[in-house]
Amino acid sequence: MTLSDRFRSRPAPPPVLAPQGEFDLNTLAPLEAEIEVAITQRCGVVLDASNITFADSTFLRLVLATHHRTDLRIAAPSPAVSRLFHIVGANTVLRLFPTLEDALAH
């Protein structure tokens, strides 16, 4: 092992966003703004979806658009989020992880 190998830094983990509550057309703007900031500051974002109690098609649109723009990892999706992803088949496209730790490890 060379000296440079020992001091090679690991890339910083992506920021974690942990929204809570319901997300629809009327409540999505703050989350959309947080995602935009996270994407511009670092490459990738982890969305801890464990406390989302409702999500509609506007939330789905935001998630899919974010997935196309950056490394999006969705951690611990709540039953409401999981159901939405399964209904439209997004669960086959998105990077879903059972826990936040798993999402950060990948």
> What are the backbone angles phi and psi of residue 73, rounded to the nearest 5°?
-120, 130
**pLDDT tens sequence for the chain (106 residues):** 555 555 566 667 899 999 999 999 999 999 999 999 999 988 899 999 999 999 999 999 999 999 999 999 999 999 999 999 999 999 999 999 999 999 999 8
Tokens 């109690």 sit at which residue?
A: 53
Q: What is the dihedral of CA 83, 72, 15, 28, to 10 degrees?
A: -50
Q: Indicate the residue type of 89.
A: G
Let me know if 18 is exposed, middle or buried by CB neighbors in 10 A (0-12, 13-18, 19+): middle
pTM: 0.87
Cα gap 9→25, rounded to integer Å: 41
Question: The tokens of 83 are what?
Answer: 């159901």
Angle, nearest 10°, between helix axes 57-69 and 29-41?
10
